Structure 1
Amino acid sequence: MNDWQQRFDRRIMRSIGMPLLKLERGDGAHVWDDEGREYLDFLAGIAVNSLGHAHPVFVEAVSRQAATLAHVSNYFTTEPALELAERLVRLSGAGEHGRAWFGNSGAEANEAAFKLARLNNSGGARTRVLALVDAFHGRTMGSLALTGKPHMREAFEPLAGGVEHIPATIEALEAAIDGTVAALIVEPIQGEAGVVELPAGYLEAARELTRRHGALLIVDEIQTGAGRTGAWFGFQHAGIEPDAITVAKGIGGGIPIGGLITFGAASDLYSKGQHGSTFGGNPLATAVANAVLGEIERAELVANAARRGPQVRERIEGLGSPLVAGTRGRGLLIGVALTRPVAGRVVEAALEHGLIVNAANDVTIRLAPPLNIGDAEIELFAERLAASLDDLVRATD
């Protein structure tokens, strides 16, 4: 191990593996490591850096707000927090009764959503929460209870009770839901499962079934929100109105922030003192999120994601690599299906060619580049991915 790897191994908790690189700086869709080598970043902090690295709007917002107020606690409010709540209610279409709560991460947002589900139990009979097999909602104890991945859960059981994981089919939902269900929580695209979309018509059916049985429909938009899929939020492709959505990642463009947005009657479930966060909604994070979302609007980056996603997928499929079985996803959340379980080796080969991508599982590469990528970045991506795949084909033949 080199010096920084030894330092990491000695002092960082072993809950994560050895990092791939030690990065020093970034600019747009590019980053540089501690040896000065450049990489094209087509992961963007796992769908976080919506504007890329060191975008002037982001930098200016951090500098401006840090010079006035960074933290005030939730005994007080500030203009950035009010503005962000209003902005997210507007962008989500939550309407006149929409409300927002702010935390610091996606896991915290889903903890707030889990507690919201528990509050939908005025008669005492709604003790069940439905989530999906292979879902990922976070690693805290409550959000992990919602996560449908046994290998992540087993070491920490028993987890919060009452959660049932069902297959992502309309038939399974119809069989599971009744008057004892408090909520259904779903991701429009299961990113950690390999960028897997819900079946056609699933969200529409889920909305009808949850409404009929008095359950909440909660949509986890942590990875799919902030324009990533070519709409502001993934549920909007289905033309439905959920009861709540959770947000994080791309809304802050790199600063830690998460939130819960409620619609309609769900906005009245929480009462004073039932939830909170010391740092949640702080003026620094909310000011930066306002700047990031404002730039996404100004530069029409939601439309850019819708346009560039198919372009990226066409370039991948046009490479003709025997390792590529196809692509899936929506907008700039893309899964590359592989013909062999070599995703980890693809990531390693890509790094050798100056490209950052992610192995969602053994047979899927996940892409989530900045929303403002253009032709030049896409061509460079295709060139470096082709070289990476060619190297791996030669090595395995």
Structure 2
Amino acid sequence: MSVEQAPVHRADFDQVMVPNYAPAAFIPVRGLGSRVWDQAGRELVDFSGGIAVNVLGHCHPALVGALTVQGNQLWHVSNVFTNEPALRLAKKLVDATFAERVFFCNSGAEANEAAFKLARRVAFELYGEEKYEIVAALNSFHGRTLFTVTVGGQSKYSDGFGPKITGIKHVPFNDLDALKAAVSDKTCAVVLEPIQGEGGVLPADLAYLQGARALCDQFNALLVFDEVQSGMGRSGELFAYMHYGVTPDILSSAKSIGGGFPMAAMMTTEKLAKHLGVGVHGTTYGGNPLACAVGNAVMDVVNTPEVLAGVKAKHQLFRTRLEKIGEQYGVFSEVRGMGLLIGCVLTDAWKGKAKDIFNAAEQQDLMILQAGPDVVRFAPSLVIENADIEEGLNRFERAIIKLTQA
């Protein structure tokens, strides 16, 4: 028996929700593939992917099928017990990566929290309590818990919450000399995003990551890669570290790993994982059977030569057209990124106007993203149809035309 639902409107948000978000004026109610429909039945092309989460678009049959089957079997048992979907997914991740051990949780912040706690625990147990410093990059983003937001190199997110976690240094991204000056015998970890996401879709230089690896080896520190946004096929490889041939000691993954279902993972080696013994760290929902069933389906689809090659081909479709739009209308100075994590850097004349472009795109029935005020970001489904790319970019160009002619 279905219960009649009371109608809801965008204005309700301002009445019942904490005002830490400022969502768009429309409410999406249905999605299929790379199309979304709002309450009025308007159809939009989705280039935002739920901020790099909807790795297979909306309502992909493999994910819907996995969730439906598991939903009729077992939802939750806690980590007092284990479950089959979690073990299957952990095995797939171990087989596909450098990792030998996996810790499941529910969000990128939790995966990074686990990574940072592990790094400090390893240093404490092997080298003593003086080795606790974490070196991270300016303009990085690692989550919103007090620990992760302090490691993230954007003070606007960490100021105003009382005393910060100490022992954290920040250096400019892609500046190896600055990194060398910051790392010492007190350093327990160097934390980097192979592609800075929120900081502007900025890929790391190969020499920078190689240098970071060498420094960590020299000073007995751990190299932590935050692949919350760049992982699970988004770069055109299963994880972005594979592009570089630089292997971390710890890797965090979230967003795309659940394809829209909240889940995350922290991956590491057997040797390091031993430092998280029974009771040292935990989570109630982590490794939930529903989440892991969906994660298994994501892995089965994404980690295939066809899909990963498709990501690289679709990148070229986006880049070619976006560079042309940028040149023709004078809006972008650079198009950068990897795979289907793409950033368009605004020219001096358009600096600070990423939100205006976001709004103009929405008026043309297109969902996009920002990465700060100066970068327009695209993070669509990895299996987005080429016809949807073309249509979405046509709408994007119409938005740019309207803005530049205003």
TM-score, structure 2 as length reference = 0.94
Q: Aligned AA for 1:239?
A: G
Which residue of 97, 110, 113 maps to 2:112? 110
Which residue is 1:119 aligned to?
A: 121
- SS of aligned partner of 1:260: strand
- SS of aligned partner of 1:155: coil
Which residue is 2:246 aligned to?
A: 240
Which residue of 337, 340, 345 maps to 2:345? 337
Q: Aligned AA for 1:84?
A: L
Which residue is 1:31 aligned to?
A: 36
Q: 1:260 to 1:223 in 2, by over 3 A?
A: same
Q: Using the alignment, how far apart are the partners of 2:18 and 2:392 within structure 1?
A: 33
Which residue is 2:85 aligned to?
A: 80
- State whether structure 2 residue 364 is matched by structure 1 residue 353: yes
Contact 1:242 1:263 in 2 (8 A): no
Q: Using the alignment, how far apart are the partners of 1:286 and 1:131 within structure 2?
A: 30
Which residue is 1:173 aligned to?
A: 179
In the TM superposition, what whole-angstrom CA distance separates every residue of 1:92-137 from its partner, at most 9, and x where no partner exists? 232xxx1000100000001101101111222222120111100000
RMSD of Structure 2 on Structure 1 (CA): 1.4
Contact 2:366 2:392 in 1 (8 A): yes
In the TM superposition, what whole-angstrom CA distance separates every residue of 1:152-186 from its partner, at most 9, and x where no partner exists? 11122312211111112110111111111000110
- SS of aligned partner of 1:151: helix
Q: Aligned AA for 1:196?
A: L
Which residue is 1:49 aligned to?
A: 54
Q: Using the alignment, how far apart are the partners of 1:189 and 1:233 within structure 2?
A: 11
Q: 1:283 to 1:157 in 2, by over 3 A?
A: same
Q: After alignment, is 100-109 or 190-199 more displaced?
A: 190-199
Which residue of 355, 368, 384 maps to 2:379? 368
List alignment gaps of at least 5 residues for structure 2.
1-6
Q: After alignment, is 254-263 or 198-207 more displaced?
A: 198-207
Contact 1:120 1:215 in 2 (8 A): no
Which residue is 1:278 aligned to?
A: 284
Q: Aligned AA for 2:397?
A: A
Q: Using the alignment, how far apart are the partners of 1:13 and 1:381 within structure 2?
A: 32
Which residue of 387, 393, 397 maps to 1:382? 393
In the TM superposition, what whole-angstrom CA distance separates every residue of 1:61-102 from its partner, at most 9, and x where no partner exists? 1100010001000011111000111111122232xxx10001
Which residue is 1:101 aligned to?
A: 103
- SS of aligned partner of 1:300: helix
List alignment gaps of at least 5 residues for structure 1.
none
Q: CA deviation at 1:3?
A: 6.3
Q: Aligned AA for 1:80?
A: P
Q: After alignment, is 3-12 or 161-170 more displaced?
A: 3-12
Q: How many residues align?
A: 391
Which residue of 132, 137, 151 maps to 2:137? 132
TM-score, structure 1 as length reference = 0.96
Q: 1:264 to 1:203 in 2, by over 3 A?
A: farther
Q: After alignment, is 320-329 or 362-371 more displaced?
A: 320-329
Q: 1:215 to 1:308 in 2, by over 3 A?
A: same
Q: Aligned AA for 2:115?
A: A
Q: Aligned AA for 1:39?
A: L
Q: CA deviation at 1:305?
A: 1.1
Name the % identity: 40
Q: CA deviation at 1:4?
A: 1.7
Q: Using the alignment, how far apart are the partners of 1:231 and 1:297 within structure 2?
A: 8
